[in-house]
């Protein structure tokens, strides 16, 4: 049984145009830009989501009947630590995820 995972990124300032590469179990799902979401089907079992940044990851143990929401965002680094942003990944509740994607565009 395929289980849906929604990957999204809220709209932010000009940084929203920068695509964040999304990987699940080492396979690229493509990029997500600000203000956009996409869905992908998971098989039951453990899955790991990460970006090219690799500082944050989300692990999901997908079970039959489950629906999952993962938010990607760019965090600005403090001054003095370089100009490269940090990619944050977080699983959010279904209630939060459903509300967030209503204002976003599908990829």
Q: What is the pLDDT of residue 60?
A: 96
pTM attached to this predicted model: 0.87
Q: For residues 14 and 40, which has the higher predicted lDDT (pLDDT)? A: 40
DSSP string, 26-70: TEEEEEE-TTEEEEEEE-SEEEEEE-TT-S-EEEEEE-TT--EEE
The alpha carbon of residue 48 and the mean position of all alpha carbons in its chain are separated, in whole angstroms, by 11
Residue 97, pLDDT above cutoff 90:
yes
Residue 22 confidence (pLDDT) above 80: yes
Task: State pLDDT tens for residues 30-83.
Answer: 999 999 999 999 999 999 999 988 888 999 999 999 999 999 988 766 555 555
Walk across the sheet containing 27-32 and list its strands: 27-32, 20-24, 45-50, 57-62
Half-sphere exposure of 76 (CA within 13 A, CB side): 8
Q: What is the pLDDT of residues 69-78, one digit of tens each?
A: 999 988 766 5
Other C-beta atoms within 10 Å of 89: how many? 19
């Amino acid at each position: 049984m395929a289980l849906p995972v929604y990957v999204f990124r809220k709209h932010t300032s000009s940084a929203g145009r920068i695509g964040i590469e999304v990987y699940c179990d080492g396979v690229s799902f493509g990029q997500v830009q600000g203000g956009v979401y996409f869905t992908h089907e998971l098989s039951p079992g453990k899955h790991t989501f990460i970006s090219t940044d690799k500082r944050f990851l989300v692990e999901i143990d997908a079970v039959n009947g489950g629906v999952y929401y993962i938010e990607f965002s760019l965090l600005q680094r403090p001054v003095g630590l370089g100009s490269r942003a940090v990619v944050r990944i977080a699983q959010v509740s279904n209630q939060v995820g459903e509300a967030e994607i209503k204002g976003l565009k599908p990829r």
